[in-house]
Amino acid sequence: MQEKYIPQTVERDAQAHWTAIDAWRALENDPRFPKGKYYACSMLPYPSGKLHMGHVRNYTINDMMARHLRMNGWNVLMPMGWDAFGLPAENAAMANGVAPAAWTWSNIAHMKAQMQSMGLAIDWSREVATCSPEYYRWNQWLFLRMLERGIAYLRTGSVNWDPIDQTVLANEQVIDGRGWRSGALVEKREIPMYYLGISKYADELIDGLDGLGWPDRVKTMQQNWIGRSEGVRFAFPHRLRGEDGNLVGDGRLYVFTTRADTIMGVTFVAVAPEHPVAALAATGRPDIAEFIERCRAGGVAEAEVATREKEGVPTGLFVDHPLTGEPVPVWIGNYVLMSYGDGAVMGVPAHDERDFAFARVYGLPIKQVIAPAQAALAFSTEAWADWYGEKTNGVCVHSGELDGLGYQAAVDRVVERLSAQGLGEKRTTLRLRDWGVSRQRYWGTPIPIIHCDACGAVPVPDEQLPVVLPDDLVPDGSGNPLAKDERFWRTTCPRCHAPARRETDTMDTFVDSSWYFMRYCSPDATHAMVDSRNDYWMPMDQYIGGIEHAVLHLLYARFWTRVMRDIGLVRFDEPFSNLLTQGMVLNDTFYREDDSGRRTWFNPDDVEVAHDDKGRPTGAVLKSDHAAVSLGGIEKMSKSKNNGIDPKAQIEQYGADTARLFTMFASPPEQTLEWSGSGVEGAQRFLRRLWNFAYGRHEAIAIRLRDRASEGIGASALTVPEADGLSESLRDARRDVHTHLRQADFDYSRRQYNTVVSAAMKVLNTLESLGATSTSGQGSATESSILAVSTEGLSILLRLLAPVVPHITHALWVECGYADTGGDLINAAWPQVDEAALTRSQISLVLQINGKVRGSVSVAADADRSAIEAAALASEAFHRAAPGQMPKKIIIVAGRLVNVVV
């Protein structure tokens, strides 16, 4: 055994060993694991080329879970793959002139090597890269099944159009309303796109959340995104006729509201710029036409619409209030979306904050129709107050027959009146839109459609799948290169065999991540998307990833799974039984500001920080020039703040075990983690101490284990059979070890990995305090007992730590001879708490005399009052401090102290 801990050697050897025995290959129904399957998986990364600390944390959590469960008898699957399609590869291609495929595959190789250096228990035989045709052919196949069932359909949709680059821009490519490359003002353009009918599944997607072991906030985010709301859809009748002389919309302008109780407070109606009434109003009115045109510019992102300054223009047209018949003016509002409901909303400025602001700007009437339950709250048309919009705590006023009614009664009465006239009914609406999957981009799954002049849009026949994406195109920023690649688009119609054109749109990359976790279960299935092995592993028992995927990815995956269920491919509804969202990794930031106020950020590695005596930072200088830099606070590690720590450099310097130990010890998995250089060094020191402890005893332990094995004791060599005969201090030590083991078991079960690590640290403290034994362990009876307790204690410690620092524990397990009797550490049985060791036979009480601490007294744990009094008076400490004195009174605090008053 090496005297010094050299992590690089230890880790290389351990990893080579695991590779040699194919340690992480997961097999269905593996008889070695009696507890059955456990599928624990991290969200697959985008292959940017470099791991960051967020990845290290995510995968270490997963690995710690996987290794712990395996040692506890579970058949664990931990796979890995690559979310390999997407825009960054196209951007990199433009910047470097390299095809996205070459860039992506080379990044995958780099990142895989970095992951392997972390010692993760990944079954690489199941690796999936979403850009490989073997994978994305099944995206195409399922898309065609959805098309057959009407789940996928064609419809026009709005896109961001860059008029200079003549290309469609993704939302993130629109910056302040302009194209990111050309700087041109972005226009909205309507083009045909494919949509997936996720909204049909909305009820199921909400109801299914109930049974899931997910963080509540993620469930809430999903619910809010789906946005199911109960309300009323009703019409404002009108006599507006179009140029053709017909009534626009058959004389009805429909709106949806969740506040039908405020219908008597309507003072205007606002329609979307694309609404037919807006088009009617623009006839012969250049000012209105110009306003509509202006609204058409600007991005289509929902967030942008929500934050856009509310603007409007009056049309001069009127509709009738459905209950009073009074005329209501129609406005065009830039905040009303045509794609949302009927593209029109009722305006109730007194009880809707947005309408209130709009009415204040344009001087529209504000009519109060709800009064609060507390009479003290007054209503004002000058400034918005929170209670105006409350629907639960008020009653109708100034509302005729609705006066005095609460929310639900008022809504019911309004619905009754409206439906009697055939003008309205209760309706459930969704915020969730159907999922537009067409992207006018190159680096994605080709949509399997062929356009024929005679036959229209024809699905590619199954036997012609996959439609393979050419992997040698280099985009130049001017539109989709697929559309210019004749080899790709020129084809023949599968129906009439006439020359035809392939669809050049590709699928949203969220499609790729919607089912990859099922492909892991049958990665080599050539004739099916998934096979029966998927039934064994799925649903996934534990999914781990960032909160940033709480909405779209998880929602799309849940939808996709249900489509697969409806097609008969799987027999479950929910793909992820449990979800853990790991916290962010934070670090200090440092910067200098130039005269114009622009900040340059410096990496914490290049900065030296001075601290006061309480450890608070007082200032910092750049190592290179020793001049001051400013402290910018603690922020999420990011490129923009230059405060990332490179895992590769950390692993090269300290080893993977140190990086793993620090990230697990510094914070519980779901909390944020603050990076700390001294914390990393502390983790490294602990591992050196562990190594030194084992080095000093490994020969004696190995001999003891061998001797006991030769006596036929074998597997039980890791316990202390002579525990009854141990001295009190050795019994105390065993009790400590088993108490910490019990604590660690509890913390493992609730995934509180930071306190697992601290329990292990305490075990090492205890074992160190036992002192050393001679090399042979053959000395006195005391030495032999110390060796017995050390042998057991170290075996528990190594197993406790194996999931978090697998390399060093593997090496020490072998060097100390445990592997000879117990086999490989990765397969070792999890240590069992010895309940007998936990019972305390003797306890120590503080001895006070006249309230002053004078020593301690040892008594049986179950000693009664008279026994404790006798022990106190008989103690050496009493005789020393109060020789010959008689006690006047003896006070006992159970389990803690005895105070003798003399």
Query: Which spans of this chain sit near Zn ion (rule: CB under 5 A)?
Result: 452, 454-455, 493, 495-496
Choice between 425 and 453, CB closer to Zn ion: 453
Least separation, in Å, of the C-beta of 54 and Zn ion? 50
Least separation, in Å, of the C-beta of 454 and Zn ion? 4
Choice between 110 and 451, CB closer to Zn ion: 451
Contact 75, 35 (CB under 8 A): yes
For the stretch 696-709, what's the b/e string if a residue is b when 16 or more beta carbons lie within 10 angstroms of its beta carbon?
Answer: ebbbbbbbbbeebe
Choice between 499 and 714, CB closer to Zn ion: 499
Choice between 456 and 721, CB closer to Zn ion: 456
Least separation, in Å, of the C-beta of 451 and Zn ion? 9
Per DSSP, the three-state class of 672 is: coil
Owner of token pair 């470097």: 96
For the stretch 100-136, what's the b/e string if a residue is b when 16 or more beta carbons lie within 10 angstroms of its beta carbon?
Answer: bbebbbebbeebbebbebbbbbbbbebbbbbbeeebb
Least separation, in Å, of the C-beta of 448 and Zn ion? 15
Strands 897-901 and 842-849: parallel
Least separation, in Å, of the C-beta of 458 and Zn ion? 6
Helix (H) or strand (E) holding 854: strand 852-860
Least separation, in Å, of the C-beta of 450 and Zn ion? 8
Residues in contact with 537: Cβ distance below 8 Å, sequence separation at least 6, in sequence order:
28, 37, 39, 77, 520, 521
Q: Longest Cα pair distance anywhere in the chain, in angstroms?
A: 120
By CB neighbour count within 10 A (0-12 exposed, 13-18 middle, 19+ buried), where does 363 fall?
A: exposed
Two structure tokens written together for 154: 């064609």
Question: Nearest-CA neighbor of 560 among 517, 506, 503?
Answer: 517
Choice between 27 and 454, CB closer to Zn ion: 454
| Helix/strand/coil percentages in the chain, nearest 5 | 40, 20, 35
Least separation, in Å, of the C-beta of 447 and Zn ion? 17
Least separation, in Å, of the C-beta of 503 and Zn ion? 14
Question: Nearest-CA neighbor of 131 among 104, 163, 169?
Answer: 104
d(CA 492, CA 681): 65
Residues in contact with 578: Cβ distance below 8 Å, sequence separation at least 6, in sequence order:
212, 213, 214, 541, 542, 543
Choice between 495 and 706, CB closer to Zn ion: 495
Choice between 456 and 714, CB closer to Zn ion: 456
Least separation, in Å, of the C-beta of 146 and Zn ion? 22
**Taking each helix axis from N to C terminus, what angle separates 677-710 and 656-665, rounded to the nearest 10 degrees?**
110
Choice between 450 and 872, CB closer to Zn ion: 450
Least separation, in Å, of the C-beta of 459 and Zn ion? 12
Choice between 462 and 476, CB closer to Zn ion: 462
Least separation, in Å, of the C-beta of 147 and Zn ion? 17
Choice between 1 and 454, CB closer to Zn ion: 454
Contact 233, 342 (CB under 8 A): yes
d(CA 714, CA 312): 84
Choice between 452 and 796, CB closer to Zn ion: 452
Taking phi over 0 as left and psi of -120 to 50 as alpha, with beta for the rest, 760 belongs to alpha
